[in-house]
Structure 1
Amino acid sequence: MTPFVTPPEGPRAPSDTVTVFGGAGATAVESDSVRRAAARVAGAADDLRAAAAQCLAASGDVVLPGSAWRPEGSTAWATAALAPAARALEEAAQDAARCLGARADLCDLLGWRLLRAAGLYEEAESTAERAVGALVTAGTFGTGAAVGSLGWAGLAGVGVVGAAEVAGRLAGGMLTGGVSSAITGWALTEATRGLAPFSDEAFAGLGSGVALSQPALAQGRPDVSGGAGVLAHVAREVPLLGNGDRGIKVTRLGPGDFADGAVPAWSDTGAGSVQEALARVDDLYPGKGGAPAATVAVQKVTGADGTVSWTVLVPGTQSALPADHPWDGRTDLELVAGQADGATAAIEQVLADCGVGPDEPVTLVGHSLGGIAAAALVSRAGFAERYRVGGLVTAGSPTGLVPTPPGVPVLHLETPEELVASTDGRSAAENPRTRDRVTVVRSLRGSTEAGDRAASGNVSLAHAVTTHVRTLDLAIGSADPRVTDVADRIGARLDGKVASTVYYRAERAGP
């Protein structure tokens, strides 16, 4: 579950709503790490006490004048002259022993506090939150199991209804007008804000329920990936929804294929930063930059030293129902299920058509479905053998179940209120954490900024590319070394002396 508790003092400055997981250096609190630190502090306390004992022993070895012992060959006056120094040495050794003992006591106290902190962190989710999360998981599991038990009709019905609902929300439509519209809008807003912290449990339960109701189609996977596999099969096979396993073809686009008769203005300019590259993905949506549906952009950048790098920009879902292109709900399900899909096939065709060399780094930047497809490609051994992966950026994409190779800088951007990134049953905090893989999550609900607050109750706004670009701006502005390290490593591949961009449309081929 996404940890989400509004602080007592109320909304926070936007920069304070960003949380970073993974990366090099400091990371989020992990109770196991705190317990290991407590063990090290306890060891330090033992060492300090051993040192104190040595000091006490040393003080006992100091021989004061007047004792039976006298250095060989020394005179009485010489021995007397050493008396002040001997007493000072003895006192110093005893003081050192006392100080070391006191420090050992402080270490014991610190170790206890660390153990206490670990326990408190493990209990950070209140009993009520855990109970709600469990109820949500159980409820959606029951729903998924019930739907699956109805067979094809039930699964298809949920697919149609769910797709229609998603499409309506993404279009920003309201159910009714006037006062009832305002009431409905308020209810949806509050429901989105309230359910956002439990969205990962909801999808985990639903996916598991569907998977266990159809174990053969789920291929024995009792989780979200198995449930997605069941629904993907429905999307392919049910006549009302499916369009079979047709192949994928890609076509180069020219200026005339765009709504305004021109390609985006940035086509001959390198992005130069991760923020700019991600912002450009927005121009690949039909309603934004006038691009045809299922458009992918590939930019070639040549540096001053002649080195070549490539950036692939991949937009998200453009049809909730199965469509004549692979940027649809069917592909979403196939990607989450880890099955063969049309989007990754299209991207591989595009790279081959561009003639990308094996030593020329390729950076993939994707939003929503585009991010899942990009992550799926990066995780495939065959792709990594064919191309040199320079980096991966995803925004609003469920990628918690996808492994990424070591050495490849990876940056994920999520918000709890968008719901989409949690459809794999994982919260941002549960994404894999490595030195190269960083997840930045921002609570829109907790922000004082009016735009953030508005987006927190609207799935479409919370999921928008612009919202994720702002999240990245705030994260980089915080100077968090984990974010800047990965962003700088990826950004170095995005700019150069000469840049050119080719656009492609992907379609499902005929039977």
Structure 2
Amino acid sequence: MTDGITITGGYTAAETDTLRDAAAVLRAASRRLDDARLDVARARVALATGEVPWGGAVVPWAGSDPWSRRGAAGAEIAAAIGAVAVADGAVLRALGQVEALALAVLRAARLYEEHDEVAVRLVDGAVPAGVQLLAAGLDLLLPWAVAGSVGSPVASVSGTASHLFDGVARAREGDGVRVEEVTRGTVDGRPDSPLPDLPVPGNVEGALRALEVPNKAGDGVLAVQRLGAGADARYVVLLPGTQTWNVVGDGAGDFANPRDLTSDLDLVGGRASDYTDEVAQALDRVVPAGASVVVVGHSLGGIAATRVVTSPALRRRYRFTGLVTAGAPSGGIAVPAGTLTLNVENAREVVSALDPGPNPAGPRHLVVHASGADDVVRQALGSSPYGGGTHGLAAHAGVLAEARSRHDPALDRALAELDGSLGAGAPGLATRTWYFRGERGGAATVAPAQGVSGAGSPAPPR
């Protein structure tokens, strides 16, 4: 779009079905035109011979009298034969045009599908050349550090860094993540307050704004919300972003919080992360096997969310129907088509720009991006366009709300599906919210939580 918001992905998958339906309608129309040509041919024969098929036999009609073909009557018959011939030519041309249009529509559908597959392959391979050279050097110098990478040079670099930092940090803090449910935390700036039962999100923007509660509740806190009850219940996982920027711990206890730069490096590098281990333990405690789950993550939480929904072990246990990320450098992580994915990002914050490549838009993967050429982010913040909040949840929710107002067909379909999973149209739906806090240094208690990695391969020794 010319005003700074671009929406990619989704469209081809939705529209190829429509194109194929249109082609079927056109082919049905061509069959009816073909029948019409047969009727025209019969009329020409009847006018020329004076005989009309009737009840399985051929009977003469008044025009068969040779005397009737003379004078005015003969001229009228000749004119009728000429008119029928013209009609036959018109029907024949229409038939050819309809059949050609049906074929063109089918070709367009196939072209869209093939183009989408090619685009995804190209995007998956797009990485900065400088990072490729750095990764190649690391591969020669430290081949053990890139073991288990997913083929991305950025992942190799991050994996190398996280391996080196982890060795120092874990020697001091110990391995494993201890996860506990918490009921009190910081709410609206007040510490030690009861953590609220979150309302029904209702839509994606509501879920993004709800992330502020666990984000500010305390160190290492995430939230799991149940919508509805019984067999029809569905779950929403809210994963906030980075809280501390250390990689080896900057004082006693700092490394205890798994929402730090070490987890960022681990996740981008395709290695097992303490943050995703925390998520897996939280899911195991409150979400039944086979349940429908939508994961919503911001920044680091968005990378963690993407790794969670792509984990083979967790996918065998849960149905990840939706994934929403905001300001998350999760490009290069291929999400299975069964999970409808929406990435929201804007050019006025730097975190999304750390992607190893663009998010791979596809039939079930949409990207909403606001460039620096529009006022959407500034209007969402209500302040300077380059303020510190451009990476915040309010900015991304505002970008998505503005994109929604454009009524892009692909985005409309995707949001209708995601909003439905988030309780759209059911504000009175019963809810229950659990909050969990992860802390490094304790033995993990849930086996499926260990080794959650998008690469599906073991991490280097720690």
- TM-score greater than 0.5 by the shorter chain: yes
Structure 2 counterpart of 1:443, one-letter code: A
- 1:507 match: 439
- 2:224 match: 298
Q: Distance in 2 between matches of 1:456 and 1:26?
A: 38
Q: Structure 1: which 5+ residue stretches go unaligned? A: 1-5, 123-133, 150-209
CA gap of 1:496–1:338, structure 2 versus 1, over 3 A, is farther
Q: Is the 8 Å Cα contact of residues 8 and 367 (structure 2) preserved in structure 1?
A: yes
Q: 2:129 aligns with which of 126, 133, 138?
A: 138
- 1:478 match: 406
Q: 1:380 aligns with which of 302, 311, 316?
A: 311
Q: Is the 8 Å Cα contact of residues 309 and 320 (structure 2) preserved in structure 1?
A: yes
Q: Distance in 2 between matches of 1:300 and 1:218?
A: 39
Structure 2 counterpart of 1:376, one-letter code: R
Q: Which has more strand, going by share of residues? A: 2
| Pairs aligned (count) | 402
Q: Is the 8 Å Cα contact of residues 21 and 433 (structure 1) preserved in structure 2?
A: yes
**Shift in Å at residue 281 of structure 1?**
0.8
- 2:80 match: 88
Q: Distance in 2 between matches of 1:407 and 1:82?
A: 71
Is residue 246 of structure 2 the alignment partner of residue 321 of structure 1?
yes
- 1:189 match: none
Q: Distance in 2 between matches of 1:460 and 1:242?
A: 35
Q: Distance in 2 between matches of 1:107 and 1:416?
A: 46
Once the two structures are superposed, what CA deviation does each residue of 1:79-113 show, in whole Å capped at 9, x if it has no partner? 4247525533433433552575489689989999x
- 1:365 match: 296
Q: Is the 8 Å Cα contact of residues 411 and 487 (structure 1) preserved in structure 2?
A: no
Q: 2:201 aligns with which of 264, 271, 296?
A: 271
Once the two structures are overlaid, the 10-residue window that deviates more, 456-465 or 355-364, is 456-465
Is residue 219 of structure 2 the alignment partner of residue 227 of structure 1?
no
Q: Is the 8 Å Cα contact of residues 52 and 98 (structure 1) preserved in structure 2?
A: no
Once the two structures are superposed, what CA deviation does each residue of 1:440-477 show, in whole Å capped at 9, x if it has no partner? 31324232457159999749533221122112223333
Q: Distance in 2 between matches of 1:456 and 1:215?
A: 46
- 1:76 match: 65
Once the two structures are superposed, what CA deviation does each residue of 1:180-211 show, in whole Å capped at 9, x if it has no partner? xxxxxxxxxxxxxxxxxxxxxxxxxxxxxx55
**Shift in Å at residue 380 of structure 1?**
2.1
Is residue 181 of structure 2 the alignment partner of residue 252 of structure 1?
yes
Q: Distance in 1 between matches of 2:293 and 2:97?
A: 55
- 1:441 match: 368
**Shift in Å at residue 506 of structure 1?**
1.3
CA gap of 1:267–1:93, structure 2 versus 1, over 3 A, is same
Q: Is the 8 Å Cα contact of residues 18 and 474 (structure 1) preserved in structure 2?
A: no
Q: Is the 8 Å Cα contact of residues 275 and 473 (structure 1) preserved in structure 2?
A: yes
Once the two structures are superposed, what CA deviation does each residue of 1:389-447 show, in whole Å capped at 9, x if it has no partner? 3533222223343344454443332234434335342324x33433xxx4231324232
Q: Distance in 1 between matches of 2:288 and 2:45?
A: 76
Q: Distance in 2 between matches of 1:342 and 1:450?
A: 32
Normalized against structure 1, the TM-score is what? Answer: 0.62
Q: Distance in 1 between matches of 2:289 and 2:98?
A: 57
CA gap of 1:441–1:251, structure 2 versus 1, over 3 A, is same
CA gap of 1:447–1:424, structure 2 versus 1, over 3 A, is closer
Is residue 388 of structure 2 the alignment partner of residue 468 of structure 1?
no
CA gap of 1:440–1:374, structure 2 versus 1, over 3 A, is same
Structure 2 counterpart of 1:441, one-letter code: V
Normalized against structure 2, the TM-score is what? Answer: 0.67
Once the two structures are superposed, what CA deviation does each residue of 1:218-273 show, in whole Å capped at 9, x if it has no partner? 23755232332222212223x48986771111233343566513547752533333
Q: 1:423 aligns with which of 337, 354, 370?
A: 354
Structure 2 counterpart of 1:270, one-letter code: V
CA gap of 1:472–1:404, structure 2 versus 1, over 3 A, is same
- 1:218 match: 146
Q: Distance in 2 between matches of 1:471 and 1:276?
A: 13
Q: Matched residue of 1:363: which SS?
A: strand
Q: Distance in 1 between matches of 2:321 and 2:36?
A: 54
Q: Matched residue of 2:7: which SS?
A: strand
Q: Distance in 2 between matches of 1:211 and 1:55?
A: 75
**Shift in Å at residue 383 of structure 1?**
1.4
- 2:122 match: none
Q: Distance in 2 between matches of 1:487 and 1:101?
A: 46
**Shift in Å at residue 279 of structure 1?**
0.4
- 1:261 match: 191
Q: Is the 8 Å Cα contact of residues 55 and 96 (structure 1) preserved in structure 2?
A: no
Q: Distance in 2 between matches of 1:371 and 1:443?
A: 18
CA gap of 1:320–1:89, structure 2 versus 1, over 3 A, is farther
Q: 2:10 aligns with which of 13, 22, 32?
A: 22
- 1:158 match: none
Q: Distance in 2 between matches of 1:478 and 1:400?
A: 25
CA gap of 1:441–1:263, structure 2 versus 1, over 3 A, is farther
RMSD over aligned CA atoms reads 5.0
Q: Is the 8 Å Cα contact of residues 321 and 338 (structure 2) preserved in structure 1?
A: no
**Shift in Å at residue 348 of structure 1?**
1.7
Percent identical pairs in the alignment equals: 26
